[in-house]
Amino acid sequence: MDYLNILSGVTGRQKRVTLADLHKIWEEKQAPKLSKSKITYYRTAWRRLELLHERDIKGINLDDMQDIVDNAPGEYYPKRDMKVLLSQLYQIALKREQIDRNRAEFIDLPDCPKSKKDGFSREERAAIWKDYEAGHAFTGYVLIMIYTGMRVGELYKIQKSNVFLDKQYMIGGIKSDAGIDRVIPIADKILPIVQEKYNNCADRLIEMRQEDFYDQYAEMIDRTKIRGLNPHCC
């Protein structure tokens, strides 16, 4: 009888899951898929989340996360890494039905800085082309940004219906001072790339999650051995 009571008590309790428990799973399952530079960023982000490590995932509220992100050193990019890492940990918990929503998605970030563009050199552009021609389809997006002058946010706003391959231009990006979408020429050199992306998208020219974009961009930087400029420098 005592054994049955003990067994009933153990099975009746729901296991306490901490953020550190989820991070261990993340390290085993997701970290190996990332570039070395991205892992470094996320390790820094994880250290800055130390106050949450041993907290029960169900007991962490949005204010807890927001306060830690707000008080972390740095501006947009390191805080974005913290938010992305938290969101990935919450996704693990969601898949395991340990929580019912991803609170990390609602963390507010400071504005992304408008930094002075420091473009890739001719040699770096050649390395990017070589990477694309080696079969890395993602790198095509980087080349599109280089040859159109678009930033990441602008690229994500390009709708398929506003891409005119026959006339070699797109309409979209950020609104101009005149209040209308600007015309973005498609250079001959990248026309086949835009055609390939056009043929493989449903509604927008790029449809991957932005966090996946940044992960793959970091992997491209590692492969090509070029300077680790952020995507806004394309």
* pLDDT exceeds cutoff 80 at 95: yes
Over residues 59-72, mean pLDDT: 95
Q: Decide if 170 contacts 162 (C-beta within 8 A).
A: yes
Q: Which domain holds residue 229?
A: 122-233
* Stronger pLDDT, 168 or 74, i.e. the higher one: 168
Any idea what the CATH number is for the domain that residue 193 is in? 1.10.443.10
My answer on whether 154 and 54 are in the same domain is: no
In this structure, are 102 and 181 located in the same domain?
no
pLDDT tens-digit profile of 114-134?
555 568 899 999 999 999 999
pLDDT of 75 reads 82
Statement to judge: residues 92 and 154 lie in one domain: no
- Same structural domain for residues 183 and 220? yes
Secondary structure class of 234 (helix, strand, coil): coil
Q: Which residue has the higher pLDDT, 211 or 11?
A: 211
- pLDDT tens digits along 142-171: 999 999 988 888 899 999 999 999 999 999
- Pairing of β 169-172 and β 182-185: antiparallel
Spatial strand order of the sheet with 169-172 comes to 163-164, 169-172, 182-185
What is the reported pTM? 0.55
Q: Are residues 170 and 132 in the same domain?
A: yes
Token representation of residue 59: 């007991």
Looking at the structure, do residues 138 and 72 belong to the same domain, yes or no? no
| Domain assignment of residue 92, yes or no | yes
The pLDDT value recorded for residue 10 is: 36
